[in-house]
Amino acid sequence: MSVFDVEIEGLRGGSADLAQYRGKAVLVVNVASKCGLTPQYSGLERLQERYAERGFTVLGVPCNQFMGQEPGSADEIAEFCSATYGVTFPMTEKVEVNGPGRHPLYQDLVGVPDAEGYTGDIRWNFEKFLIAPDGTVAARFAPQTEPETDEVTGAIEKNLPA
């Protein structure tokens, strides 16, 4: 089973249909609107604009598990992201990424090591997972890793569909 087989709702209801991303590279990011890392939305949106036509998308996954930094409703989250950062990439429903209520999307993701070898629970908002076109996890990036670093863009470029 790959992440493309996981069922998750879209931010404003209905299925987010991850199967539509099969054959594409996807950067899955747990996001929050009231975090010190929230300005990363700008870099994520620039990645979306830069690589979308080459078979890539960012997938934002709102989560309120880290100091209540994503308290808003679906409409409030969508409005904030659009108005403040011009976000055009898809967003899922708000989910839990850690603990007994961990969403199935994150069940396998947390077992993948980042460049320093860390595996396990999501550490904070804006932890990133690059999913290869075949649905395998190609890379994991710490929350503080800015979206447009050479480390992230290099991994994206390496995993874009041929």
| Structural domains present in the chain | 3-157 (3.40.30.10)
Nearest alpha carbon to residue 8 among 79, 60, 65: 60
Q: Which residues of 1-11 are buried (b: 16+ CB within 10 A; e: fewer)?
A: ebbbebebeeb
- How far, in Å, CA of 39 to CA of 142, rounded? 15
Sign of CA dihedral 142, 148, 151, 153: positive
Q: What are phi and psi of 28, to 5 degrees?
A: -90, 125
**What pTM value is reported for the model?**
0.97
pLDDT of res. 1: 67
Question: Would you say how long the chain is, in residues?
Answer: 162
Structure tokens at 87: 């976000």
Q: What is the pLDDT of residue 108?
A: 87
- Are 74 and 60 contacting, i.e. CB atoms less than 8 angstroms apart? no
Burial class of residue 83, CB neighbours in 10 A (0-12, 13-18, 19+): exposed
pLDDT confidence of residue 100: 97
**Is residue 35 among the annotated active site residues?**
yes
| DSSP category for residue 92 | B
* Paired tokens of 3: 């992440």
State the catalytic residue, choosing from 35, 78, 142, 160.
35
- Answer yes or no: are the C-beta atoms of 40 and 126 closer than 8 Å: yes
Per-residue pLDDT tens digits of the chain, which is 162 residues long:
689 999 999 998 889 999 999 999 999 999 999 999 999 999 999 999 999 999 999 999 999 999 999 999 999 999 999 999 999 999 999 999 999 999 999 998 999 999 999 999 999 999 999 999 999 999 999 999 999 999 999 999 999 997
Q: What is the pLDDT of residue 2?
A: 86
Q: Which of 39, 107, 30 is nearest to 63 (CA)?
A: 30
